[in-house]
Structure 1
Amino acid sequence: MKSYQLIHELISLVEQLEQQNPEREVTMQDFAGFMVHTVGNSAPNVTSAARLSHDVRFGKNEITAQEQAFQLDNNIGQLFVYMSRYAKSYIKKALDDTALLTAEDFTALAILLTHDNLSKTELIQYNLQEKTSGTEVIRRLLAAGLIKQWDDAKDKRSRQIAITDQGKQLLYTVFEDMNHVGKMISGNLTVSEKLTLRYLLQKLEDFHQQHHQQKTISNKADLKRVTEALTDQK
Protein backbone atom coordinates (compact mmCIF):
# COMPACT_ATOMS: atom_id res chain seq x y z
CA MET A 1 0.00 0.00 0.00
CA LYS A 2 1.67 3.19 -1.20
CA SER A 3 0.06 5.37 1.49
CA TYR A 4 1.09 3.16 4.42
CA GLN A 5 3.86 5.48 5.57
CA LEU A 6 1.50 8.48 5.56
CA ILE A 7 -1.19 6.55 7.47
CA HIS A 8 1.41 5.45 10.01
CA GLU A 9 2.50 9.08 10.53
CA LEU A 10 -1.12 10.19 11.00
CA ILE A 11 -1.76 7.44 13.56
CA SER A 12 1.38 8.48 15.44
CA LEU A 13 0.13 12.07 15.54
CA VAL A 14 -3.25 10.94 16.87
CA GLU A 15 -1.48 8.97 19.60
CA GLN A 16 0.57 12.04 20.55
CA LEU A 17 -2.59 14.16 20.76
CA GLU A 18 -4.36 11.60 22.93
CA GLN A 19 -1.38 11.45 25.29
CA GLN A 20 -1.60 15.21 25.74
CA ASN A 21 -5.35 15.01 26.44
CA PRO A 22 -5.85 11.88 28.62
CA GLU A 23 -9.00 13.18 30.28
CA ARG A 24 -11.19 13.69 27.24
CA GLU A 25 -12.06 12.43 23.75
CA VAL A 26 -10.24 14.45 21.10
CA THR A 27 -12.13 15.79 18.09
CA MET A 28 -11.29 16.27 14.42
CA GLN A 29 -10.94 20.01 15.11
CA ASP A 30 -8.45 19.21 17.87
CA PHE A 31 -6.46 17.01 15.51
CA ALA A 32 -6.48 19.55 12.68
CA GLY A 33 -5.11 22.27 14.94
CA PHE A 34 -2.59 19.90 16.52
CA MET A 35 -1.33 18.69 13.14
CA VAL A 36 -0.86 22.21 11.76
CA HIS A 37 0.94 23.23 14.95
CA THR A 38 3.16 20.14 14.95
CA VAL A 39 4.11 20.28 11.28
CA GLY A 40 4.53 24.05 11.38
CA ASN A 41 6.96 23.83 14.29
CA SER A 42 9.00 20.93 12.93
CA ALA A 43 12.48 21.44 11.53
CA PRO A 44 12.57 23.93 8.61
CA ASN A 45 14.26 21.37 6.38
CA VAL A 46 11.53 18.77 6.89
CA THR A 47 11.02 16.52 3.87
CA SER A 48 7.99 14.67 2.66
CA ALA A 49 8.89 11.02 2.21
CA ALA A 50 5.41 10.28 0.92
CA ARG A 51 5.69 13.11 -1.61
CA LEU A 52 8.90 11.66 -3.01
CA SER A 53 7.05 8.61 -4.28
CA HIS A 54 4.29 10.65 -5.94
CA ASP A 55 6.23 12.96 -8.26
CA VAL A 56 6.31 11.13 -11.58
CA ARG A 57 9.27 13.21 -12.73
CA PHE A 58 11.63 11.65 -10.20
CA GLY A 59 13.13 8.18 -10.36
CA LYS A 60 14.63 6.07 -7.59
CA ASN A 61 18.23 7.27 -7.71
CA GLU A 62 20.07 9.88 -5.64
CA ILE A 63 17.63 9.90 -2.73
CA THR A 64 19.83 12.36 -0.82
CA ALA A 65 19.51 14.85 -3.66
CA GLN A 66 15.76 14.26 -3.80
CA GLU A 67 15.43 14.90 -0.08
CA GLN A 68 17.20 18.20 -0.66
CA ALA A 69 14.74 19.05 -3.45
CA PHE A 70 11.79 18.22 -1.22
CA GLN A 71 12.80 20.36 1.72
CA LEU A 72 9.78 22.51 2.45
CA ASP A 73 10.94 25.80 0.93
CA ASN A 74 12.57 24.06 -2.05
CA ASN A 75 9.43 22.03 -2.71
CA ILE A 76 7.28 25.18 -2.66
CA GLY A 77 9.64 26.80 -5.18
CA GLN A 78 9.52 23.68 -7.33
CA LEU A 79 5.72 23.69 -7.36
CA PHE A 80 5.69 27.38 -8.31
CA VAL A 81 7.89 26.57 -11.32
CA TYR A 82 5.53 23.77 -12.35
CA MET A 83 2.47 26.01 -12.02
CA SER A 84 4.16 28.77 -14.01
CA ARG A 85 4.91 26.39 -16.87
CA TYR A 86 1.38 24.98 -16.89
CA ALA A 87 -0.03 28.51 -16.92
CA LYS A 88 2.21 29.60 -19.81
CA SER A 89 1.16 26.59 -21.87
CA TYR A 90 -2.54 27.41 -21.32
CA ILE A 91 -2.00 31.09 -22.13
CA LYS A 92 -0.14 30.21 -25.32
CA LYS A 93 -3.11 28.11 -26.47
CA ALA A 94 -5.53 30.94 -25.64
CA LEU A 95 -3.45 33.32 -27.78
CA ASP A 96 -3.49 31.06 -30.85
CA ASP A 97 -4.46 32.89 -34.04
CA THR A 98 -3.77 36.32 -32.52
CA ALA A 99 -0.90 38.78 -32.87
CA LEU A 100 0.09 38.06 -29.26
CA LEU A 101 2.80 35.42 -29.00
CA THR A 102 3.52 35.15 -25.28
CA ALA A 103 2.00 35.73 -21.86
CA GLU A 104 4.27 38.77 -21.55
CA ASP A 105 2.77 40.24 -24.74
CA PHE A 106 -0.69 39.89 -23.24
CA THR A 107 0.17 41.32 -19.82
CA ALA A 108 2.06 44.26 -21.35
CA LEU A 109 -0.92 45.16 -23.49
CA ALA A 110 -3.30 44.71 -20.55
CA ILE A 111 -1.17 47.04 -18.42
CA LEU A 112 -1.23 49.70 -21.16
CA LEU A 113 -5.02 49.36 -21.37
CA THR A 114 -5.28 50.77 -17.85
CA HIS A 115 -2.97 53.77 -18.45
CA ASP A 116 -3.17 56.76 -20.77
CA ASN A 117 0.49 56.14 -21.58
CA LEU A 118 3.71 54.89 -20.02
CA SER A 119 7.39 55.16 -20.72
CA LYS A 120 9.04 52.05 -22.07
CA THR A 121 10.98 51.65 -18.83
CA GLU A 122 7.81 51.87 -16.75
CA LEU A 123 6.05 49.22 -18.82
CA ILE A 124 9.01 46.85 -18.63
CA GLN A 125 9.17 47.27 -14.85
CA TYR A 126 5.43 46.80 -14.39
CA ASN A 127 5.60 43.68 -16.55
CA LEU A 128 8.38 42.27 -14.32
CA GLN A 129 10.81 41.81 -17.19
CA GLU A 130 14.46 42.36 -17.91
CA LYS A 131 15.22 45.25 -20.26
CA THR A 132 16.19 43.05 -23.23
CA SER A 133 13.13 40.80 -23.16
CA GLY A 134 10.83 43.72 -22.35
CA THR A 135 12.15 45.71 -25.30
CA GLU A 136 11.48 42.73 -27.57
CA VAL A 137 7.85 42.57 -26.37
CA ILE A 138 7.41 46.28 -27.12
CA ARG A 139 8.95 45.79 -30.57
CA ARG A 140 6.46 43.01 -31.38
CA LEU A 141 3.47 45.02 -30.18
CA LEU A 142 4.57 48.04 -32.25
CA ALA A 143 5.08 45.91 -35.36
CA ALA A 144 1.57 44.47 -34.94
CA GLY A 145 0.03 47.94 -34.62
CA LEU A 146 -1.26 47.17 -31.12
CA ILE A 147 0.60 50.07 -29.49
CA LYS A 148 2.01 53.41 -30.63
CA GLN A 149 5.01 55.44 -29.48
CA TRP A 150 6.20 59.03 -29.52
CA ASP A 151 9.04 61.13 -28.13
CA ASP A 152 8.67 62.28 -24.56
CA ALA A 153 8.25 66.06 -24.56
CA LYS A 154 10.06 66.39 -21.23
CA ASP A 155 12.85 63.88 -21.85
CA LYS A 156 14.11 63.51 -25.41
CA ARG A 157 15.95 60.30 -24.42
CA SER A 158 12.68 58.62 -23.49
CA ARG A 159 9.68 57.49 -25.53
CA GLN A 160 6.08 57.19 -24.42
CA ILE A 161 3.85 54.33 -25.53
CA ALA A 162 0.09 53.75 -25.47
CA ILE A 163 -2.36 51.12 -26.63
CA THR A 164 -4.10 51.66 -29.97
CA ASP A 165 -7.74 51.06 -30.80
CA GLN A 166 -6.64 47.92 -32.60
CA GLY A 167 -4.89 46.77 -29.43
CA LYS A 168 -7.97 47.41 -27.31
CA GLN A 169 -10.18 45.50 -29.73
CA LEU A 170 -7.82 42.53 -29.67
CA LEU A 171 -7.58 42.52 -25.89
CA TYR A 172 -11.33 42.45 -25.36
CA THR A 173 -11.53 39.56 -27.80
CA VAL A 174 -8.79 37.66 -25.94
CA PHE A 175 -10.26 38.32 -22.47
CA GLU A 176 -12.93 35.65 -22.95
CA ASP A 177 -10.37 32.96 -23.70
CA MET A 178 -8.19 34.17 -20.83
CA ASN A 179 -11.12 33.66 -18.46
CA HIS A 180 -10.93 29.97 -19.36
CA VAL A 181 -7.20 30.06 -18.61
CA GLY A 182 -7.87 31.50 -15.16
CA LYS A 183 -10.37 28.76 -14.39
CA MET A 184 -7.98 26.12 -15.67
CA ILE A 185 -5.14 27.40 -13.50
CA SER A 186 -7.25 27.34 -10.32
CA GLY A 187 -8.29 23.84 -11.34
CA ASN A 188 -10.39 21.74 -8.98
CA LEU A 189 -9.99 23.97 -5.92
CA THR A 190 -13.13 24.82 -3.98
CA VAL A 191 -14.16 28.44 -3.52
CA SER A 192 -12.84 28.32 0.04
CA GLU A 193 -9.52 26.93 -1.15
CA LYS A 194 -9.29 29.59 -3.88
CA LEU A 195 -9.82 32.36 -1.34
CA THR A 196 -7.13 30.90 0.92
CA LEU A 197 -4.72 30.52 -1.99
CA ARG A 198 -5.36 34.06 -3.20
CA TYR A 199 -4.68 35.41 0.29
CA LEU A 200 -1.37 33.53 0.53
CA LEU A 201 -0.29 34.43 -3.00
CA GLN A 202 -1.09 38.11 -2.39
CA LYS A 203 1.02 37.98 0.76
CA LEU A 204 3.90 36.58 -1.29
CA GLU A 205 3.30 39.12 -4.08
CA ASP A 206 3.55 41.99 -1.58
CA PHE A 207 6.82 40.56 -0.25
CA HIS A 208 8.44 40.00 -3.64
CA GLN A 209 7.13 43.24 -5.16
CA GLN A 210 8.83 45.21 -2.40
CA HIS A 211 12.16 43.52 -3.11
CA HIS A 212 11.65 43.96 -6.86
CA GLN A 213 10.96 47.69 -6.56
CA GLN A 214 13.83 48.29 -4.15
CA LYS A 215 16.18 46.11 -6.23
CA THR A 216 17.44 44.35 -3.12
CA ILE A 217 18.39 41.11 -4.90
CA SER A 218 21.14 41.64 -7.45
CA ASN A 219 23.43 38.66 -6.77
CA LYS A 220 23.88 35.45 -4.77
CA ALA A 221 25.17 37.35 -1.75
CA ASP A 222 21.92 39.34 -1.62
CA LEU A 223 19.89 36.13 -1.78
CA LYS A 224 21.82 34.71 1.17
CA ARG A 225 21.52 37.92 3.18
CA VAL A 226 17.75 38.26 2.72
CA THR A 227 16.96 34.60 3.33
CA GLU A 228 19.11 34.52 6.47
CA ALA A 229 17.18 37.53 7.74
CA LEU A 230 13.93 35.71 7.01
CA THR A 231 15.11 32.69 8.98
CA ASP A 232 16.00 34.89 11.95
CA GLN A 233 12.48 36.36 11.94
CA LYS A 234 10.78 32.95 12.23
Structure 2
Amino acid sequence: MKSYPLIHQLITLVEELEVEQSGKEISLQQFTGFLLNKASSAPNGTNSEVRFGNNDEKTLEIAFQLDNNIGRLFVFMSRYAKLYIKKALEDTPLLTAEDFTALAILMTHDQLSKTELINHNLQEKTSGTEVIRRLISAGLVKQWDDTKDKRSKHIAITENGRELLYNVFKDMNNVGKMITGKLSLAEKFTLQYLLQKLEDFHLDHYERKTISSKSDLKNFIEESLHA
Protein backbone atom coordinates (compact mmCIF):
# COMPACT_ATOMS: atom_id res chain seq x y z
CA MET A 1 0.00 0.00 0.00
CA LYS A 2 1.74 3.15 -1.27
CA SER A 3 -0.03 5.46 1.19
CA TYR A 4 0.95 3.47 4.30
CA PRO A 5 3.73 5.93 5.33
CA LEU A 6 1.21 8.79 5.15
CA ILE A 7 -1.36 6.84 7.21
CA HIS A 8 1.32 6.07 9.80
CA GLN A 9 2.26 9.77 9.90
CA LEU A 10 -1.39 10.76 10.45
CA ILE A 11 -1.78 8.24 13.30
CA THR A 12 1.37 9.64 14.90
CA LEU A 13 -0.04 13.17 14.64
CA VAL A 14 -3.33 12.08 16.22
CA GLU A 15 -1.38 10.58 19.11
CA GLU A 16 0.59 13.82 19.45
CA LEU A 17 -2.61 15.87 19.58
CA GLU A 18 -4.12 13.51 22.16
CA VAL A 19 -1.12 14.13 24.43
CA GLU A 20 -1.54 17.86 23.88
CA GLN A 21 -5.24 17.58 24.78
CA SER A 22 -4.49 15.46 27.88
CA GLY A 23 -6.15 12.38 26.41
CA LYS A 24 -9.46 14.07 25.62
CA GLU A 25 -11.46 12.93 22.61
CA ILE A 26 -10.43 14.88 19.49
CA SER A 27 -12.89 16.28 16.95
CA LEU A 28 -12.24 16.43 13.21
CA GLN A 29 -12.24 20.24 13.39
CA GLN A 30 -9.55 20.21 16.11
CA PHE A 31 -7.39 17.78 14.17
CA THR A 32 -7.81 19.81 10.96
CA GLY A 33 -6.56 22.96 12.68
CA PHE A 34 -3.70 21.03 14.29
CA LEU A 35 -2.76 19.48 10.94
CA LEU A 36 -2.80 22.80 9.10
CA ASN A 37 -0.55 24.31 11.73
CA LYS A 38 1.88 21.41 11.41
CA ALA A 39 1.84 21.57 7.60
CA SER A 40 2.54 25.31 7.55
CA SER A 41 5.48 25.10 9.95
CA ALA A 42 7.15 21.94 8.66
CA PRO A 43 9.41 21.80 5.57
CA ASN A 44 7.99 19.85 2.65
CA GLY A 45 10.39 16.97 2.32
CA THR A 46 8.18 14.79 0.14
CA ASN A 47 9.11 14.53 -3.52
CA SER A 48 5.75 13.91 -5.19
CA GLU A 49 6.91 15.52 -8.43
CA VAL A 50 7.35 12.84 -11.10
CA ARG A 51 9.82 15.03 -13.03
CA PHE A 52 12.31 15.30 -10.17
CA GLY A 53 14.88 12.76 -9.13
CA ASN A 54 16.46 12.48 -5.68
CA ASN A 55 20.07 13.37 -6.40
CA ASP A 56 20.15 16.85 -4.90
CA GLU A 57 18.29 17.35 -1.62
CA LYS A 58 19.03 21.09 -1.52
CA THR A 59 17.42 21.61 -4.94
CA LEU A 60 14.37 19.61 -3.88
CA GLU A 61 14.10 21.56 -0.65
CA ILE A 62 14.09 24.84 -2.59
CA ALA A 63 11.68 23.55 -5.24
CA PHE A 64 9.17 22.38 -2.65
CA GLN A 65 9.13 25.53 -0.56
CA LEU A 66 5.48 26.56 -0.50
CA ASP A 67 5.70 29.68 -2.69
CA ASN A 68 8.10 28.03 -5.15
CA ASN A 69 5.88 24.97 -5.39
CA ILE A 70 2.79 27.08 -6.11
CA GLY A 71 4.69 29.05 -8.74
CA ARG A 72 5.90 25.87 -10.43
CA LEU A 73 2.39 24.42 -10.48
CA PHE A 74 1.12 27.64 -12.06
CA VAL A 75 3.69 27.24 -14.83
CA PHE A 76 2.65 23.65 -15.44
CA MET A 77 -1.06 24.56 -15.48
CA SER A 78 -0.33 27.29 -18.02
CA ARG A 79 1.44 24.81 -20.29
CA TYR A 80 -1.35 22.25 -20.03
CA ALA A 81 -3.87 24.97 -20.88
CA LYS A 82 -1.87 26.03 -23.94
CA LEU A 83 -1.77 22.42 -25.16
CA TYR A 84 -5.56 22.08 -24.86
CA ILE A 85 -6.17 25.47 -26.47
CA LYS A 86 -3.91 24.56 -29.38
CA LYS A 87 -6.05 21.45 -29.99
CA ALA A 88 -9.26 23.49 -29.79
CA LEU A 89 -7.92 25.95 -32.39
CA GLU A 90 -7.04 23.29 -34.96
CA ASP A 91 -8.43 23.97 -38.45
CA THR A 92 -8.87 27.69 -37.68
CA PRO A 93 -6.73 30.73 -38.59
CA LEU A 94 -5.98 31.17 -34.87
CA LEU A 95 -2.56 29.76 -34.02
CA THR A 96 -2.11 30.52 -30.33
CA ALA A 97 -4.02 31.19 -27.11
CA GLU A 98 -2.99 34.84 -27.50
CA ASP A 99 -4.69 34.98 -30.92
CA PHE A 100 -7.90 33.76 -29.35
CA THR A 101 -7.82 36.06 -26.32
CA ALA A 102 -6.96 39.09 -28.47
CA LEU A 103 -9.95 38.42 -30.72
CA ALA A 104 -12.20 37.80 -27.71
CA ILE A 105 -11.12 41.11 -26.15
CA LEU A 106 -11.85 42.95 -29.40
CA MET A 107 -15.30 41.34 -29.49
CA THR A 108 -16.20 43.25 -26.32
CA HIS A 109 -15.06 46.67 -27.61
CA ASP A 110 -16.19 48.82 -30.50
CA GLN A 111 -12.54 49.56 -31.18
CA LEU A 112 -9.15 49.74 -29.49
CA SER A 113 -5.73 51.10 -30.28
CA LYS A 114 -3.08 48.48 -30.92
CA THR A 115 -1.32 49.43 -27.70
CA GLU A 116 -4.52 49.04 -25.69
CA LEU A 117 -5.15 45.57 -27.07
CA ILE A 118 -1.56 44.47 -26.43
CA ASN A 119 -1.79 45.67 -22.83
CA HIS A 120 -5.19 44.04 -22.26
CA ASN A 121 -3.75 40.79 -23.65
CA LEU A 122 -0.78 40.99 -21.23
CA GLN A 123 1.78 40.82 -24.02
CA GLU A 124 5.05 42.51 -24.89
CA LYS A 125 4.92 44.90 -27.84
CA THR A 126 6.77 42.66 -30.31
CA SER A 127 4.71 39.51 -29.74
CA GLY A 128 1.47 41.50 -29.44
CA THR A 129 2.11 43.26 -32.74
CA GLU A 130 2.70 39.90 -34.42
CA VAL A 131 -0.64 38.58 -33.10
CA ILE A 132 -2.45 41.63 -34.48
CA ARG A 133 -0.67 41.26 -37.82
CA ARG A 134 -1.86 37.65 -38.11
CA LEU A 135 -5.44 38.56 -37.24
CA ILE A 136 -5.50 41.37 -39.82
CA SER A 137 -3.93 39.12 -42.47
CA ALA A 138 -6.62 36.49 -41.82
CA GLY A 139 -9.40 39.07 -42.26
CA LEU A 140 -10.53 38.70 -38.65
CA VAL A 141 -9.52 42.24 -37.63
CA LYS A 142 -9.51 45.55 -39.50
CA GLN A 143 -7.37 48.60 -38.83
CA TRP A 144 -7.41 52.30 -39.70
CA ASP A 145 -5.44 55.45 -38.93
CA ASP A 146 -6.25 57.61 -35.96
CA THR A 147 -7.63 60.87 -37.36
CA LYS A 148 -5.77 62.89 -34.71
CA ASP A 149 -2.52 60.93 -34.62
CA LYS A 150 -1.41 59.31 -37.88
CA ARG A 151 1.20 57.26 -36.00
CA SER A 152 -1.55 55.48 -34.08
CA LYS A 153 -3.71 52.68 -35.49
CA HIS A 154 -7.17 51.65 -34.37
CA ILE A 155 -8.44 48.11 -34.75
CA ALA A 156 -11.77 46.30 -34.52
CA ILE A 157 -13.10 42.81 -35.06
CA THR A 158 -14.69 42.03 -38.42
CA GLU A 159 -17.86 40.05 -39.08
CA ASN A 160 -15.67 37.14 -40.15
CA GLY A 161 -13.87 37.43 -36.83
CA ARG A 162 -17.14 37.39 -34.90
CA GLU A 163 -18.41 34.36 -36.78
CA LEU A 164 -15.17 32.46 -36.22
CA LEU A 165 -15.08 33.34 -32.54
CA TYR A 166 -18.62 32.11 -31.91
CA ASN A 167 -17.67 28.79 -33.51
CA VAL A 168 -14.45 28.54 -31.50
CA PHE A 169 -16.29 29.26 -28.23
CA LYS A 170 -17.88 25.80 -28.43
CA ASP A 171 -14.50 24.06 -28.34
CA MET A 172 -13.06 26.51 -25.83
CA ASN A 173 -15.85 25.56 -23.41
CA ASN A 174 -14.42 22.05 -23.50
CA VAL A 175 -10.98 23.47 -22.76
CA GLY A 176 -12.34 25.22 -19.66
CA LYS A 177 -13.90 22.00 -18.42
CA MET A 178 -10.68 20.09 -19.11
CA ILE A 179 -8.55 22.60 -17.23
CA THR A 180 -10.69 22.38 -14.09
CA GLY A 181 -10.41 18.58 -14.23
CA LYS A 182 -12.43 16.68 -11.64
CA LEU A 183 -12.78 19.52 -9.13
CA SER A 184 -16.12 19.65 -7.36
CA LEU A 185 -18.36 22.70 -7.76
CA ALA A 186 -17.32 23.95 -4.32
CA GLU A 187 -13.64 23.49 -5.20
CA LYS A 188 -14.14 25.41 -8.45
CA PHE A 189 -15.70 28.35 -6.59
CA THR A 190 -12.82 28.31 -4.09
CA LEU A 191 -10.23 28.16 -6.87
CA GLN A 192 -11.98 30.96 -8.77
CA TYR A 193 -11.96 33.15 -5.65
CA LEU A 194 -8.25 32.58 -5.01
CA LEU A 195 -7.24 33.05 -8.64
CA GLN A 196 -9.27 36.27 -8.88
CA LYS A 197 -7.53 37.53 -5.74
CA LEU A 198 -4.16 36.85 -7.35
CA GLU A 199 -5.28 38.38 -10.66
CA ASP A 200 -6.28 41.62 -8.90
CA PHE A 201 -2.89 41.76 -7.18
CA HIS A 202 -0.81 41.10 -10.29
CA LEU A 203 -2.89 43.25 -12.66
CA ASP A 204 -2.38 46.23 -10.37
CA HIS A 205 1.40 45.75 -10.54
CA TYR A 206 1.25 45.16 -14.29
CA GLU A 207 -0.70 48.34 -15.00
CA ARG A 208 1.45 50.47 -12.69
CA LYS A 209 4.62 48.85 -14.09
CA THR A 210 6.05 48.44 -10.61
CA ILE A 211 8.19 45.41 -11.49
CA SER A 212 10.44 46.34 -14.39
CA SER A 213 13.68 44.70 -13.22
CA LYS A 214 15.11 41.99 -10.99
CA SER A 215 15.94 44.62 -8.37
CA ASP A 216 12.30 45.83 -8.37
CA LEU A 217 11.20 42.28 -7.64
CA LYS A 218 13.75 41.88 -4.85
CA ASN A 219 12.88 45.25 -3.29
CA PHE A 220 9.13 44.58 -3.35
CA ILE A 221 9.52 41.21 -1.64
CA GLU A 222 11.82 42.64 1.02
CA GLU A 223 9.40 45.53 1.69
CA SER A 224 6.47 43.09 1.90
CA LEU A 225 8.28 40.95 4.46
CA HIS A 226 8.88 43.98 6.67
CA ALA A 227 5.41 45.49 6.24
- TM-score category by the smaller chain? over 0.9
Matched, 1:231 2:225: yes
Give the alignment of 1:1-234 within 5 angstroms.
Answer: 2-22=2-22, 24-40=24-40, 42=41, 46-47=43-44, 49-50=45-46, 52=47, 54-233=48-227
Distance in 1 separating the partners of 2:53 and 2:7:
23
Question: 1:191 and 1:214, CA in 2 relative to 1: closer, same or farther beyond 3 A?
Answer: same
Greater alpha carbon shift after TM alignment, 110-119 vs 62-71: 62-71
- Residue 227 of structure 1 deviates from its aligned partner by 1.6
Number of residue-to-residue matches in the alignment: 227
**Deviation per CA, 1:175-198, whole angstroms, max 9, x where unpaired?**
000000000000011111111111
Give the structure-2-normalised TM-score: 0.94
Distance in 1 separating the partners of 2:123 and 2:5:
43
- Residue 10 of structure 1 deviates from its aligned partner by 2.2
Give the structure-1-normalised TM-score: 0.92
**Deviation per CA, 1:100-147, whole angstroms, max 9, x where unpaired?**
000000000000000000000000000000000000000000000000
Distance in 1 separating the partners of 2:196 and 2:38:
25
Greater alpha carbon shift after TM alignment, 170-179 vs 146-155: 146-155
- Residue 23 of structure 1 deviates from its aligned partner by 5.9
- Residue 174 of structure 1 deviates from its aligned partner by 0.2
Calculate percent identity across the aligned residue pairs: 65
Question: 1:232 and 1:8, CA in 2 relative to 1: closer, same or farther beyond 3 A?
Answer: farther
Greater alpha carbon shift after TM alignment, 206-215 vs 24-33: 24-33
Q: Which residue identity lines up with residue 131 of structure 2 in the other structure?
A: V
- Residue 16 of structure 1 deviates from its aligned partner by 3.1
Distance in 1 separating the partners of 2:97 and 2:118:
14
Distance in 2 separating the partners of 1:18 and 1:91:
50
User: Any unmatched runs of 5+ in structure 2?
Assistant: none
Greater alpha carbon shift after TM alignment, 122-131 vs 221-230: 221-230
Distance in 1 separating the partners of 2:26 and 2:198:
35
- Residue 32 of structure 1 deviates from its aligned partner by 1.3
